[in-house]
Chain A
Amino acid sequence: MNKKNSIEVKNLSFSYQEETILDNISFSIEKKDLVAIIGHNGSGKSTLVKLLLNLLPSKKGIIKTSGSIAYIPQKFNQDINFPAKVKEILELECCDCDLRGDVVKSLSIENLIDKQFKNLSGGQQQRVMIALSLLSNPNILILDEPTVGVDTTTQEEFYKLLKKINKDRDLTILFVTHDTGMISNYFTKTLCVGNKEVHIDNAKNTNTLLHSVYGDNFHELHHHHHNHEENKK
Chain B
Amino acid sequence: MIELLQYEFMQRALLGGLLIGITSSLIGVFLVLKRLSLLGDSFAHASFGGIALGFVLGWNPLLTAFGFVSIASLGIDRLINKIKLYGESAIALLLSFGMALALILIGAADKINANIFSYLFGSLLTISYQDIMFASIILVLVLIFYYFNYKKLFYSAFNREIALIRNKNTKIIDKIFILLCAITIVISIRAVGILLISALLVIPSLIGLRLSNSLKQTLMISSCASVLGIYLGIFISYYFDLPTGGTIVMSLIGLFLISIFIKK
Contacts and interface: CB of A to CB of B under 8 A. Distances in A.
Interface of A: 53-55, 69-73, 77-79, 82-85, 87-89, 91-93, 116, 132-133, 136
Interface in B139-171: 151, 154-155, 157-159, 161-162, 164-166
Contact of A73 (B33, B159, B209, B213): B159
Given A78-B159, A85-B215, A92-B154, 10 more contacts: A55-B161, A70-B165, A71-B165, A73-B162, A82-B157, A82-B158, A84-B158, A88-B214, A88-B215, A92-B151
Q: Which of A73, A83, A84, A92 has the most CB of B within 10 A?
A: A83
A35 B208 CA distance: 43
B165 A79 contact: no
Contacts of B164: 55
B25 interface: no
Contact of B158 (A69, A79, A116): A79
Q: Which of A70, A77, A84, A132 has the most CB of B within 10 A?
A: A84
A116 to B, nearest CB: 6
Contact of A136 (B158, B166, B212): B166
Contacts, number: 53
Given A55-B164, A69-B165, A88-B216, A82 B151 contact: no
Interface residues of B, number: 19
Interface of B: 33, 151, 154-155, 157-159, 161-162, 164-166, 209, 212-216, 218
Contacts of A53: 165
23 contacts: A54-B165, A55-B164, A55-B165, A70-B165, A77-B159, A77-B161, A82-B33, A82-B157, A82-B158, A83-B214, A83-B215, A83-B218, A84-B154, A84-B158, A84-B214, A85-B214, A88-B214, A88-B215, A91-B151, A92-B154, A92-B155, A133-B162, A136-B166
Contacts of A79: 33, 158-159
A144 to B, nearest CB: 9
Nearest to A95: B151
Given A82-B33, A92-B154, A116 B161 contact: no
Contacts of A70: 165
